[in-house]
Amino acid sequence: MLRDFELCCSELSEYGLTMTPEMYEKFDIYAEFLVEYNKNVNLTAITDADEIFLKHFIDSILICRYVDIPENASVIDVGTGAGFPSVPLKIFRPDIKITLLDSLNKRIVFLNQLCEKIDIQANTIHGRAEDISKMAEYREKFDFSCARAVANMSLLSELCVPFLKVGGTFISMKGPGEDISLGQNALNVLGCDKMNEINYMLGMDSRRIITAKKISHTPTKYPRNSGQIKKKPL
Ligand code: SAM
């Protein structure tokens, strides 16, 4: 499915990254299973192997280049869809502990099968972030909460920050266009410091990683229910 190992390694090296043959094998199985499953269940608009490698796999693992993720860190991926960014991240950094959360069960069913196929450990949860982060076992329990292409910064902050321990980091992956500064108030209210923006190119596309450190507990009234979050963004 993917181009051969050397060609993929050479593309990765343009982004300052390297991979082992074992990682390549998992990416290859992932790409093939994603395209096959996507014929019956909507998971991605990207089905060309080279594009999957660049726009899903490289994009996801670039987090490691721009954010310092310590060994054995715990990461929750909010609105993970077909596993992005956390599954490629886990292939690339097997030491991290990933939790994959999505509100659509058909995507969780796919992820469970995928994790078995590529032999990686992941905790998968079917549910809405605003409900799951109220549960004691998930609230303020993670070193990182991340999301790609889920919601605008203000909404996303309310979905992601309650999962973080104090001292943890929120990571949001975005394209150009959105005025992310509109999310700073939400971040402050939820217990985070000033956001930091990292800009980079992925092929011909400009991309951004926005991070914010959690410096105090999230007030218990957050997150609100999804209707309120959308109607009255923080
Ligand atoms: N992160 C993946 C990616 O970059 O390819 C998927 C992005 S997809 C556009 C957004 C995903 O977020 C969908 O799978 C959707 O079911 C999920 N989602 C949206 N709102 C959610 C919520 N409140 N809680 C959990 N998952 C949510």
**Mind listing the pLDDT tens digit for each residue in 187-210?**
999 999 999 999 999 999 999 999
Q: What is the pLDDT of residue 146?
A: 98
Distance CA 58, CA 218 (A): 32
The ranges of the chain with pLDDT < 50 are none
Distance CA 228, CA 205 (A): 34
Q: What is the pLDDT of residue 1?
A: 87
Distance CA 157, CA 229 (A): 10
Ligand 1 contact via 108 beta carbon (within 6 Å): no
Which of 150, 173, 209, when mutated, tests ligand 1's pocket best, judged by the most ligand atoms within 8 Å of its CB?
Answer: 150
CA–chain centroid gap for 39, Å, is 23
CA proximity to 211, closest of 168, 159, 152 = 168
The answer to whether 91 and 120 have CB atoms below 8 angstroms apart is: yes
Ligand 1 contact via 107 beta carbon (within 6 Å): yes
CA proximity to 126, closest of 141, 152, 104, 99 = 104
> What is the maximal distance between C-alpha atoms in the chain?
51
Distance CA 194, CA 175 (A): 20
Q: What is the mean pLDDT of the chain?
A: 97
Ligand 1 contact via 171 beta carbon (within 6 Å): no
pLDDT digits (tens, 9 = 90+) for 155-170: 999 999 999 999 999 9
Give residue 10 CA to ligand 1 midpoint distance, Å.
31
This prediction's pTM: 0.97
CA proximity to 115, closest of 152, 83, 151 = 83
